[in-house]
Amino acid sequence: MTAQMMDGIQINGIKHDLACEPLDPYIEQWKKSHKIIKKFTCTACWRGYIAEWEILDDKLYLTNISGIKQFKMEPYVTISTLFPDSKENIFAKWFTGTLWVPMGNQLQYIHSGYASVYERDLVITINKGWVVSQNTIENELPKELYL
């Protein structure tokens, strides 16, 4: 699989990349009752969208979805398509899992999904949209790259 374009997340007013797809569980449920035709998907974005997120007051919010039209998905999925009754940021109560936020310089590019290695990973555990914990992992170059 090709390395994937990342969603974005704002934490403490700073924008970061997000190396996971917290909207995916919601879209999978949504697709069961809506017809979606994928005409073309960029190999660098198999999911067909880029989402923007924010952590505010220990809650995860979806703030924007873009890129759908350029990836030729029909119907064009937007926040108002997925959440027709919402007028503002969407509390991600459907998401329980781990957010991976790569930080610092890229140490190693890996041409697969979100596998590239960065100096640090901020790991945020989410339970039904609420931040449960945050940990920072310091990464090193794999030893085989030192040779």
Higher pLDDT, 85 or 54: 54
Residue 45: the pLDDT is 67
The residue extents of the domains of the chain are 7-145
Helix (H) or strand (E) holding 103: strand 97-108
Q: Is the pLDDT of residue 9 over 80?
A: yes
Q: Distance between alpha carbon 134 and the CA centroid of its chain, in Å?
A: 17
In order of 37, 70, 100, 114, the CA distances from 17 in angstroms are 28, 20, 9, 11
Sign, Cα dihedral of 83, 90, 94, 19: positive
Provide the strand spans (E) within the chain. 7-11, 14-18, 37-38, 50-56, 59-66, 73-74, 90-91, 97-108, 117-127, 130-138
Read off the pLDDT of each residue in 118-145 and give the average, rounded to a whole number. Answer: 90
Residue 25: the pLDDT is 87
Q: Is the pLDDT of residue 38 over 60?
A: no
Higher pLDDT, 38 or 115: 115
Q: Which segment, 25-39, 60-74, 97-111, is predicted with the most confidence on average?
A: 97-111
Distance CA 94, CA 129 (A): 7
Residue 27: the pLDDT is 80
Higher pLDDT, 105 or 32: 105
- Confidence band (pLDDT; 50, 70, 90) for 72? low
Q: Is the pLDDT of residue 95 over 90?
A: yes
Expressed in angstroms, the distance from the first to the final Cα of the chain is: 27
